[in-house]
Structure 1
């Protein structure tokens, strides 16, 4: 693919999975020598400081995603990028509306990161599915971050145009640098193993199962559990921890700016989710060199772990199975060479090469 002007369109750069994808992807394109614009609905967020120095940040200065259609159209008419890659369901819709009235229009790639029907608001999910069905056909291709998301595109959204799976770009120099920073937490400085969970404290992450599994694990051996993240279930989880007599052994650490420090120092990372679009933290843990136990939830973790080759998979909402898997992983961790080998599949350069090849198909 010859050097081109590539635009990545995202909501903002607040901390989140899609936002990290945007930062990593623009860095990848910049390193390949393209002229790169990072077009944001609103130029806000903690990740702004991590944007590659050769990337132009374009602020559409809109207070809502849906109000960014006209500013995005003005950007496209003025700068004429060769390709526009949008990240996430809402910005995908805006990208299709803006591109449909611009000539010449860029190669439009939409990336879908979640399964729309799993939105907590059923009415919103129905509306989003309908809009996606009507609008996604404008794109040149849709990139799904997992096979499960691709299946949803086909079966529930009814999108039958060009689509393929490209995993999220995870392994980066920035991740490795942050993972190597010293961690100031007393539990990681002795020989008692530490289990780590990370994510929003919300029902779909099912940290209750992780805590119950940890209670069973504690009956067999010494261990500690740290869960990073904030969310609406904190009080519920605190009550569960107290009722199980685990206050001395479980730390709900809240929001942490650098979760990779925790991942790289943990003995086992556990994903307890009921569902995921991709399961980004699983790939991040592998990138940090940490053994993984994950629920075999739809969709993503089984793909990332290659059906158990690179980590353990357990049934959803099964504390006993999770406790057994964590105990086994502590006793016999996944080979670090295998973990490093798998992490390379999610490297920024490898993923950017796949996007480059996809854009080249439409030149």
Structure 2
């Protein structure tokens, strides 16, 4: 929506509810910083500037703050788009697609291209009738208001094509930015092995209660568990820890901007979620040579744990399988995996190449159609 002569997505508009923590928001901030460094203008519509990720706000990003953490307040996005005239709108995750749909409805043909990253599983085992049917209906409406989708892995792309009935030409695969590896001295609160580590928001989706319950059942009673993250489930998890008498073995240490030292120190990194997108914590752990144990919470889990030398995949809700997997990786003679090169080294550049192409196609649709016809 900037001047027609602009050859690229010079101005990108995105949105975030709060900065309380979460992989979607953290990844967006990293990408936004890289886009600014690449010479692009980035405007971020934000409900409220609060939470631990405030410290990670990159320089040069223009913030439009609404002053409330209420999700419906983000329906200000169409008005902000009219005001700042972006070349493209980036929807950073599934949580925000309803705002993207509202924006398309409000702006109509005047809307710039809208790109949405698929950040979470589209198959939701936690949904029951009639919510499951309603969710499937909602997913199939997405191609009507999203111009292009970004999946973080090939399996997620295939899932999106099936669940959304989207044109494969409107889906790209771009991994999240590569993790930052630890540097300097390790934090003082990391205990010696045997140590299990979980990283993620303390929310019901993550099902940390399963992991805490498993700690009470594993063979080695000297094993410690650290869970890195903050969220609304903390009181319930603290009550569970007290009830099981695990106060000396399980520690909820809150949010850490760089959890890599904890991942590197762990005997294994554990993820017990009901559903996920492409769990970045698994890739971060494997990049450090730390094995992982994960529920089959996403089609991407089997892509990440590609062979049994990297870790163990357990069925969702199978506590016996979870305990058995933990016992195996806590064993004294287990071999740690070789570090796996992380994906996403050029994520920011890949996004900008996609954004630029979509902007060019929007501004010169005749030439785009001719070029596609020649390819056929």
- CA deviation map 1:287-318 (0-9, x unaligned): 5x250222251412222333456x21232231
Structure 2, unmatched stretches of 5+, are 1-6, 361-376
State how far apart, in whole Å, the 2-side matches of 1:119 and 1:93 are: 21
The answer to whether structure 1 residue 360 and structure 2 residue 362 are counterparts is no
State how far apart, in whole Å, the 1-side matches of 2:151 and 2:44 are: 20
Distance 1:8 1:180, change over 3 A: farther
Partner of 1:333: 336
> Does the 8 Å CA contact 1:92/1:111 hold for their aligned counterparts?
no
Distance 1:214 1:204, change over 3 A: same
The answer to whether structure 1 residue 187 and structure 2 residue 191 are counterparts is yes
- CA deviation map 1:69-95 (0-9, x unaligned): 3x2112212222112111222422212
Q: Which protein has the bigger helix share?
A: 1
1:227 counterpart SS class: strand
Partner of 1:278: 278
Superposition map of 1:34-183 within 5 A:
34-61=40-67, 63-69=69-75, 71-100=76-105, 101=107, 104-118=110-124, 120=126, 122=128, 123-124=130-131, 126-160=133-167, 162-171=170-179, 175-176=180-181, 180=184, 182-183=186-187
> Does the 8 Å CA contact 2:142/2:164 hold for their aligned counterparts?
no
Distance 1:116 1:301, change over 3 A: closer
1:153 counterpart SS class: helix
Superposition map of 1:295-334 within 5 A:
295=294, 297-299=296-298, 300-308=300-308, 311-316=310-315, 317=318, 318-327=321-330, 331-334=334-337
- CA deviation map 1:228-276 (0-9, x unaligned): 346265157426743xxx654x223242434344224334322233432
1:156 counterpart SS class: helix
> Does the 8 Å CA contact 1:93/1:135 hold for their aligned counterparts?
no
State how far apart, in whole Å, the 2-side matches of 1:77 and 1:291 are: 48
Distance 1:91 1:301, change over 3 A: same
Deviation at 1:283, TM superposition (A): 2.4
- CA deviation map 1:16-74 (0-9, x unaligned): 111111111101211222111222244333212211112111224455333433x2112
RMSD (Å), alpha carbons: 3.3
Deviation at 1:15, TM superposition (A): 0.7
Distance 1:29 1:352, change over 3 A: same
